[in-house]
Amino acid sequence: MSASELYIGLMSGTSLDGIDGVLADFSGSHCVVTHHASAPFAPELRAELMALNTSGTDELHRAALAGNTLSQAYAQVVQTLLEQSGLAGSSIRAIGAHGQTVRHRPQEFDGTGYTLQLGNPALLAERTGITVVADFRSRDVAAGGQGAPLVPAFHQGVFGRAGETVLVLNIGGISNLSVLGADGSVLGFDCGPGNALMDYWCQRHTGQAFDAGGAWAASGKVLPELLASLLDEPFLHKPPPKSTGRDLFNPAWLAHHLAPFAQANPADVQATLTEYTARACAISANSYKKNSKTMAVCGGGALNTHLMARLQVACPGVQVTVTDTLGLPALQVEAAAFAWLARQALHGRPGNLASVTGAAGARVLGAVYPA
Ligand SMILES: Nc1ncnc2c1ncn2[C@@H]1O[C@H](COP(=O)(O)OP(=O)(O)OP(=O)(O)O)[C@@H](O)[C@H]1O
Ligand SMILES: CC(=O)N[C@H]1[C@@H]2OC[C@@H](O2)[C@@H](O)[C@@H]1O[C@H](C)C(=O)O
C-alpha cells in the first residue's frame, strides 16, 4: 500500500488570535482541503505569548512552558480534525506545525541572526501519535535567507496561472505579498503591518480583540499627519528580500508615532491605522502589479470589509478579491501551506524559494519528529 498523502497543517500566526488547522489531501494533482478547524487561544496563553514577544524575566522557563501549552492546544485541534473526518491518526502522514513566532531577527548581529517559533513538537508527536514536522524557518535563515515568507511557493502551486501575473496578499498580524509571475517566476516579501496595529488599538480602546468588519475604523476620520508619519517607516520602502514582525511593528513603535497626537479621537486613530495598513500593502502591490488583473487576499484581514475597500481604492487597476474566488478560503491558506511544507520535508524536497527569502539556495525545511 502506498503511503498516505493526507497531511495536517497547523498555524498560529502573528495576530496571536489562535490556531487554524486543516486536513489536506495531496493524492491528486493539487491540494484539496477536506476539513478546517480553528480554536482561539485561552486568554492566559495569549497574554503569555504576547508578553514573550518582548524580553522579560525568567524567559527560558516561561517560553518552555508556553510551548508545552501551545502544543497541547495544537493536539486538540488535531483531535477535532480527526473527529470531523472520522479518520484515525494512523491515516495521517504528518503534521506541519508552525509554532509561535516570538522573535524574528534574521541576518542581524554578525549576519547570522535567528528566528524563534515556540512549541514542543516532541510533545505534539507524543500526544497525537503522528509524525510532526516543525521549525521550518531556521534552515533558510542559516542559509542566509529571511526565513520568511515561506508561503509563496505554495501560493504558486495553488493560485499561479500560466500567462497571467497573480498577486496574493496575506493579511495576518503582519502582511505579506506573493507575486506569481506569468512566466512562472515567484517573488514574495513582507509588506509591513497586517492586523497587528489595528487589533492592539481596538483591544485597548474598545475591549474587543479586533475591529469586526472595520466598522469602528469606518466611523472615524483619517488623520493625514499621523498617516504620513507612519508611512515614513523605512521598512515599507526597502527592496526585497525582506521580512518583519512584532519585533518592529509593536506598541512601542506605535507610541512613538502617536506621541504628537495624544489628544486624537481613538476612532480617528483606528481609521488612520486601517488606512495605513491598506497603504502599506498597496505600496508593495502597486510596485509589482504590472500585467496582473487580480490581487487575491487571504488571512483574517480579508474579513475586514472596510480594510478591503480601502485596499481597492489604494490599488487602482487590479481587482481586489478574496482567495475563496480562486479556490481556497481565506482562513485556510496558511495552514494548508504548512501541511504542504511538511509534505515537502518528508519527500525530501525544498520548501523555500531563494528568489523570495534570499537564501543561498533551495533547502529542505523543518525538523522531523517521527510518530
Ligand atoms: N470579521 C473580521 N473583521 C475584521 N478583522 C477580522 C475579522 N476576522 C478576523 N479578523 C482579523 O484577522 C486576524 C486573524 O487573522 P489570521 O488568522 O490570518 O492571523 P495569523 O494566523 O496570526 O496570521 P499571520 O501568520 O499571517 O500573521 C484577527 O486578529 C483579526 O484582526
Ligand atoms: C517570522 C514569521 O513568523 N513570519 C510570518 C509573519 O506572518 C505573516 C508574515 O509575517 C510572514 O512572513 C510569515 O508567515 C507566513 C505564513 C509565511 O512564512 O509565509
Asked whether 13 lines ligand 1 (CB < 6 A), one says yes
Residues with beta carbon inside 6 Å of ligand 2? 13-14, 101, 104, 115, 148-151, 170, 172-174, 176, 190, 243, 245, 334
Which atom of ligand 2 has the smallest separation from the CA of 337? 16
- Residue 2's pLDDT is 67
CB–CB of 128/360 below 8 Å? no
- The bound ligand whose nearest atom lies closest to the alpha carbon of 274 is 1
Is the pLDDT score of 1 beyond 60? no
Q: Could you give the CA distance from residue 71 to residue 181 in angstroms, rounded to a whole number?
A: 37
Cell representation of residue 103: 522573535
Q: What ipTM was predicted for this assembly?
A: 0.98
Using CA positions, which residue lies closest to atom 17 of ligand 2?
A: 149
Which residue type does 88 have? Answer: A
pTM: 0.98
pLDDT (tens digit per residue) in 123-176:
999 999 999 999 999 999 999 999 999 999 999 999 999 999 999 999 999 999
Q: Could you give the CA distance from residue 36 to residue 93 in angstroms, rounded to a whole number?
A: 17
Q: Which CATH number fits domain 6-147+335-369: 2.40.50.100, 3.40.50.10480, 3.30.420.40, 3.90.190.20?
A: 3.30.420.40
pLDDT (tens digit per residue) in 164-194:
999 999 999 999 999 999 999 999 999 999 9
Asked whether 212 lines ligand 1 (CB < 6 A), one says yes
Distance in Å, CA 15 to ligand 1 centroid: 6
Asked whether 275 lines ligand 1 (CB < 6 A), one says no
CATH class of 152-326: alpha beta
| Residue ranges per structural domain of the chain | 6-147+335-369, 152-326
Task: State the DSSP H helix or E strand holding residue 286, giving kind and residue range, or none if neither.
Answer: helix 266-288
Which atom of ligand 2 has the smallest separation from the CA of 104? 1
Q: Could you give the CA distance from residue 236 to residue 191 in angstroms, rounded to a whole number?
A: 6
Q: Could you give the CA distance from residue 247 to residue 103 in angstroms, rounded to a whole number?
A: 7
CB atoms within 10 A of CB 61: 9
Mean pLDDT of the chain: 97
Using CA positions, which residue lies closest to atom 13 of ligand 2?
A: 149
CB-neighbour burial class of residue 128 (10 A; exposed 0-12, middle 13-18, buried 19+): buried
Extended strands (E) in 234-301? 292-298
Q: Return the closest-CA partner of residue 282 out of 131, 197, 146, 175.
A: 175
